[in-house]
Chain A
Amino acid sequence: LLIRARGRRVTTDWRIVSRAATRRWWHAVFNPASKRAQVVETLQTELRRDLADHALHLRNAGTATATATYPSLAYLALLNWATTQTDDRWPQLQFAIVAENAHGNDALDALSDWHERCP
């Protein structure tokens, strides 16, 4: 603040300066946002990979017999959170849930739970 004043008379509100400095240093010591970002990135990456798998299944097997890969189900429930719902891949995901043969109920429950809780 003092350097930027360049000779002009300024009144420094030290409370603001100290608050800003505290915030900056606190950010350097404790920053859960970086962990949250890491989680989001991991989930998005896996979701993207799963979507690619589903697309491949759909192309290869046709809509009647396609089956979803098992790990993808965990991430279907993240849809509202990690990606936008306006995405054109949404119908493919819906189909993937229905087509899941082994643990379809668990996946649907997880997804519907998440949807109900989602704002």
Chain B
Amino acid sequence: VTAAVDVLGWAERAAAVGVALSAVEWLALGDLWEEGGPCAWGILRLRSRAADSGRFSAARARLFGTFGTRTILWAQLAGCVAVLLPTSPDWHRAALCTTVVALLALRRRLDGGNDGSDQLLALTLGASLLARVAGTPHAAALVLWFLAGQGCLAYATSGWGKLRQRDWRSGAVLRDITSSTLFGSPRIGARLQRRPPEAAWLSRFVIATFVLFPLVFVLPRPLALGLLGAAAAFHIGTAVVMGLTRFPWAFFATYPAVVYCAHL
């Protein structure tokens, strides 16, 4: 149990890298959310009456304007850097708290650009903050079990979702994705289009890895590590081929918890 705090530290560091990356990406996409962009708060506040003309609409407009949003993003980035640095427990807790508060604020402001990886990163850091506030090894162990369960749930639901679709099983989806301009690679896309069986078997391998992932808790150590390695290879592959840069960090952040809880 005493090692749980150290293991949680590794999960936090991986998640902090992913969240920092997200902040830097948003800062690079200022043309989207700054004044005059399609996601400027002047436009997005019109989504709901409360945001547009509610009691706190003026305060929210100041907070979510160009300057306010940029400040929140920099605060998030600074919080992540501080989480990565070796600091005292108090500073670490403060850094984690800053990051989580900024994450929650940005979920209201820039929710359109967030995906599953952002949700998982927010869950990881939010749960870690709870453990740090509690400040006991048992709380850290409890959060690690939560993160391990969350990771398994994420893989299993994603795997079952793919398994139920014929186009995933046949490899058609994989061929289409790798052939797309944004998430594809001309070389790999062309190869998979030329060789549909390769795409089908690759798809089935990914589906099997995801569906079977929760078995890491019961499989013998070499097989469980193999499963973990296959999932990690998938994330590195999607980062290199598809440019999905935050997913590896979001899922790698759950691996220390899986390794700890499955006694690998």
User: Which residues of A are at the interface with B, using a C-beta cutoff of 8 A?
Assistant: 24-25, 27-39, 42-43, 70-71, 73-74, 77-78, 81-82, 102-103, 106-107, 110, 113-114, 117
Can you sample 28 A-B contacts with CB below 8 Å?
A28-B236, A28-B240, A29-B21, A31-B244, A32-B28, A32-B29, A34-B183, A34-B242, A35-B25, A35-B29, A35-B113, A36-B29, A36-B32, A39-B29, A39-B112, A42-B111, A42-B112, A74-B43, A74-B46, A78-B38, A78-B43, A81-B38, A106-B52, A110-B46, A113-B36, A113-B42, A114-B43, A117-B36
Does chain A have a CB within 8 A of B3?
no
On chain B, the residues within 8 Å of A25 by CB distance are 240
A residues within 8 A CB of B21? 29-30
Across the interface, which residues of B come within 8 angstroms of A114, CB to CB?
A: 36, 38, 43
Q: Is A34 a contact partner of B182 (Cβ separation < 8 A)?
A: yes
Write out the residue numbers on chain B whose beta carbons fall within 8 Å of the beta carbon of A78.
38, 43
Instruction: A32 to B33: give the CA distance in the assembly, Å.
Output: 13
Residues of B within 8 A of A107 (CB): 46
* Neighbouring B residues of A28 by C-beta, 8 Å: 236, 239-240, 243, 245
Known contacts A32-B29, A34-B243, A35-B25; is-contact A43 B182 (Cβ 8 Å):
no
Rounded to whole Å, the gap between the CB of B111 and the closest CB of chain A is 8
Distance in angstroms between the alpha carbons of A25 and B29 in the assembled complex: 20
CA distance A61 to B115 in the complex (A): 37
Q: Which residue from chain A places its CB closest to the CB of B28 in the assembled complex?
A: A32
> Which residues in B have their C-beta under 8 angstroms from that of A38?
112-115
Q: Which residues of A contact B111 (CB under 8 A)?
A: 42
In addition to A33-B182, A73-B46, A107-B46, 17 A-B residue pairs with Cβ atoms within 8 Å of each other are: A27-B243, A31-B245, A34-B242, A35-B22, A35-B26, A37-B183, A38-B115, A39-B39, A39-B113, A42-B111, A43-B112, A70-B46, A71-B47, A74-B43, A110-B42, A113-B36, A114-B43
- Interface contact B52-A103, CB-CB below 8 Å: yes
Are B113 and A42 in contact (CB-based, < 8 A)?
yes
Q: Does B24 contact A (CB under 8 A)?
A: yes
- In the bound complex, do residue B38 and residue A82 qualify as a contact, i.e. CB atoms below 8 Å apart? yes
Decide yes or no whether B164 CB sits under 8 A from chain A. no
B44 touches A (CB below 8 Å): yes
Q: Smallest CB–CB gap between B76 and chain A, Å?
A: 14
Assembly CA distance A89 to B215 (angstroms): 51
